[in-house]
Amino acid sequence: MTIKALIFDVDGTLAETEEVHRRAFNETFEAFGLDWHWGRTLYGQLFQVTGGKERIRHYATNWRSHDSPMAPSRITDLYLAKTARYTELVSAGGIDLRPGVDRLVREARTLGIRLAIATSTSMLNVKSLLDVTMKADGTHFFGVITVGEMVIRKKPAPEVYQLALEQLNLPANACLAIEDSYNGVMAARRCGIPVLATTSTYTCNEDLRYALAVLSDLGEPDAPFCHFGGPGAGETHVTIDALNRWHSGSVRHGRGQKPRHSFTCN
């Protein structure tokens, strides 16, 4: 079966945004008079918790247990302020799409392949990023966008992908997801969707063995990706033809149901 739709994650997949998120968190904490600061190492640990509000709650509960308990309304206020600050930072520019993303999106559109987004972040965050990186075309490129506030449980739960499949009205094996993290890979796989993983700053050392293939990025003809596992060895950049070849092998042989490969991307 050929691919009918590509479903993209956002943070770390479309663009390297996590350092902008981290800056927005820290500036919000300071504005609220909190003595919290998330350095890179700490943020890497907190990164395992999906969703900004959930990350704040987890930190307040598990890392600041000596503080007075934080009311849910306070957590919500922090999260909303952080989201507003993040969109301001993104709108100021300086964030680019990851290698190969724009090229693959446009190739898919030319070939009539549908495009979707399934992410744990907010709709406001998605739109602000697309508006900057893809200009006026961004949100129109993706016919289906499912986000964290639309579901009860975020990745690695499969709900955001289940919702995307419902809105696409396609079976799982007609789609291919592109993710960067263990939580994202598992969310898609639990729906039966084959996944291509492209590692990012905070996911380089995560267990991505359930992905169909693991690459450094989507690559460009003059800037090849690094290959870490699965199909794609010896190739330079991800194309729709390549994805169909890899995808058809996965569907035909049932690959991706069990760990297929180990890799290192250090």
Q: Give me the active site residues, please.
A: 9, 11
Amino acid present at 67: D
Identify the H or E element spanning 57. helix 52-62
Alpha carbon of residue 246 to chain centroid: 20
H helices of 63-144, in order, are: 72-91, 101-110, 123-133, 138-141
Query: Residue 52 in contact with residue 80, Cβ under 8 Å?
Result: no
Which residues have CB under 8 Å from 142's CB, separation 6+?
Answer: 8, 115, 116, 117, 130
CA distances 240 to 17, 141, 198, 220, 257, Å, are 25, 16, 16, 13, 22
